[in-house]
């Protein structure tokens, strides 16, 4: 199979991440489903993003009907395709999905196949985690961001008016299938958005990956499939190291929040209309500055991190004017608040994080925190009409 790679995730429920080109119609998916059919599962519900080309849902359903019902004629395969955006990643949508499953008479022996970006996987994963006290879900991520991040590690959740991802559970999927072919139809801003999560894991854990991202921007943005498999594989391997050590976020997993403390505030302020990755890119730019102000990161490494972010996001991120008071109010609703203090992941140098006494996130001194809003002023990542030539995506 074309560039096929496999990663074994050894969490409380172990599973395989399959990565390759053109692998959706190979027998991997059938084999993953057959494991459940053999154990008495009687239904597969495909829940897919309506925006996807039909070959990734309706035609896939037809293919699975032929290949799975041939051997197990009583095995039912239904498709629910629906429109889902970040603004709809909420309690109402979760309830609607659950009601659909009840209407389809789904019981404990139902397997879910979730096909879409991080928004769809997060909410469908959460539905699967609580429906009938938990039914298995296989993920087919179709955005680069979901391939490198949201599909692996088991975090599921929804947003509330109080903030992002504030309700959810950690439930590992039964398997993950990453087919880089699905990225062909992904809009350019959504593709670029994913570079933030790849840069994030590289900046905290892997200088070599940072260098690869610095030197191969054009190949990456051209969506070269061989190169894509390489960086997806590298990112998932890094995430695997973290989640296997700390599946339930009692320590090291907090590192994956680098850029997200500020990023989540930006997303909330923008009414979830900004892509997640753009908010995280801005968050990383600001949070690396905080690490420098705290004396944790030297100027040379700060420049390296900000140069890498600028390479992909210079003048790309459109946001409204940040209001000081609202910004600070939202900041305090984040999950990363401990003992009334907002905690930040602090980078030590390119590819290395700061930790002390088994702690991975830290409060910063109040004067520095008060000035965060100023870091949005003249920020090179934020779209400025004067430099409009640089605002094209790919």
Cα radius of gyration (the chain): 21
Comparison of 192 and 308: residue with beta carbon closer to ligand NAD: 192
Catalytic residue among 94, 200, 230, 253: 253
Question: Between 67 and 85, whose beta carbon lies closer to ligand NAD?
Answer: 85
d(Cα 376, Cα 328) in Å, to the nearest integer?
Answer: 14
If one counts every other C-beta atom within 10 angstroms of the C-beta of residue 378, the result is 8
**Rule CB under 6 A: is residue 240 a binding residue for ligand NAD?**
no
Task: Give min distance, CB of 147 to ligand NAD, in A.
Answer: 9
Which of 288, 281, 271, 260 minimizes the C-alpha distance to 350?
Answer: 288
Report the C-alpha dihedral over residues 18, 19, 22, 28, rounded to 10 degrees.
-10
**Which residue from 81, 93, 110, 142 is in contact with ligand NAD, where contact means CB under 6 A?**
142
Is 143 among the residues that bind ligand NAD (CB under 6 A)?
yes
116 lies in the site for ligand NAD, by CB under 6 A: yes
Is residue 120 at the binding interface for ligand NAD, with CB under 6 A as the rule?
A: yes
58 is catalytic: no
* Residue in 86, 206, 254, 334 binding ligand NAD, rule: CB under 6 A: 86
Alpha helices (H) along the chain: 27-38, 58-69, 91-103, 118-130, 144-145, 188-205, 207-215, 217-221, 225-245, 260-269, 276-293, 299-313, 324-331, 366-370
**Spacing of C-alpha 58 from chain mean position:** 25
Q: How far is the CB of 88 from ligand NAD (least distance, A)?
A: 10
Find the binder of ligand NAD among 118, 136, 163, 351 (CB under 6 A).
118
Q: What x/- string results for residues 25 through 64 when contact with ligand NAD is judged by CB under 6 A?
A: ------------------------x-xx------------
Question: Which residues, listed in sequence order, are joined to residue 337 by a DSSP beta bridge?
Answer: 342
- Quick check: 6 binds ligand NAD (CB under 6 A)? no
Q: Name the nearest CA neighbour of 35 among 19, 57, 13.
A: 13
Q: Is 253 annotated in the active site? A: yes
Using CB under 6 A as the binding rule, whether residue 117 contacts ligand NAD is answered as yes
Handedness of CA 317, 322, 326, 331 (dihedral sign): positive
CB of 329 to ligand NAD, least distance (A): 20
Choices 66-74, 139-147, 287-295, 329-337; region in contact with ligand NAD by CB under 6 A: 139-147
Token pair in block for residue 157 = 């959740």
Buried b / exposed e over 176-215, threshold 16 CB at 10 Å, is bbbbbbbbeebeeebbbbbbbbbbbbbbbbbeebbebbbe
- Out of 21, 276, 304, 316, the active site residue is 276
The minimum distance between CB 115 and ligand NAD, in angstroms, equals: 9
Catalytically active residues, by annotation:
133, 155, 197, 239, 249, 253, 257, 260, 264, 276
């Amino acid at each position: 199979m074309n560039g096929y790679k496999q990663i074994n995730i050894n969490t409380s429920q172990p599973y395989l991440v399959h990565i390759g080109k053109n692998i959706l119609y190979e027998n991997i998916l059938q084999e993953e489903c057959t494991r459940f059919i053999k154990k008495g599962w009687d239904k597969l519900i495909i829940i897919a993003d309506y925006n996807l080309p039909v070959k990734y849902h309706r035609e896939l359903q037809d293919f699975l009907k032929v290949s799975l019902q041939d051997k197990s004629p009583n095995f039912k395969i239904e498709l629910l395709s629906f429109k889902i955006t970040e603004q709809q990643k909420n309690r109402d949508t979760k309830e609607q999905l659950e009601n659909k499953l009840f209407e389809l008479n789904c019981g404990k022996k139902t397997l879910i196949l979730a096909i879409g970006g991080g928004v769809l996987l997060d909410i469908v994963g959460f539905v699967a985690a609580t429906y009938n006290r938990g039914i298995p879900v296989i993920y087919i991520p179709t955005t680069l961001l979901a391939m490198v991040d949201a599909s692996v590690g088991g975090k599921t959740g929804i947003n509330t008016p109080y903030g992002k991802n504030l309700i959810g559970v950690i439930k590992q999927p039964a398997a993950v299938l990453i087919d880089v072919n699905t990225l062909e139809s992904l809009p350019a801003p959504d593709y670029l958005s994913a570079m933030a999560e790849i840069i994030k894991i590289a900046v905290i854990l892997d200088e070599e990956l940072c260098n690869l991202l610095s030197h191969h921007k054009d190949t990456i943005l051209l969506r070269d499939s061989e190169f894509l498999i390489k960086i997806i594989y590298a990112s998932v391997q890094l995430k695997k190291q973290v989640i296997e050590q700390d599946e339930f976020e009692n320590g090291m997993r907090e590192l994956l929040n680098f850029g997200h403390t500020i990023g989540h505030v930006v997303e909330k302020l923008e009414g979830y209309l900004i892509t997640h990755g753009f908010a995280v890119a801005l968050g990383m730019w600001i949070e690396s500055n905080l690490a420098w102000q705290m004396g944790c990161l030297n100027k040379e490494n700060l420049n390296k991190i900000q140069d890498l972010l600028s390479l992909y996001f210079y003048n790309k991120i459109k946001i409204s004017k940040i209001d000081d008071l609202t910004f600070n109010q939202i900041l305090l609703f984040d999950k990363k608040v401990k003992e009334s203090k907002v905690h930040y992941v602090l980078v030590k140098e390119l590819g290395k994080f700061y930790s002390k006494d088994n702690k991975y996130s830290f409060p910063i001194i109040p004067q520095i925190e008060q000035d965060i809003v100023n870091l949005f002023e003249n920020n090179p990542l934020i779209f400025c009409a004067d430099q409009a030539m640089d605002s094209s995506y790919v």
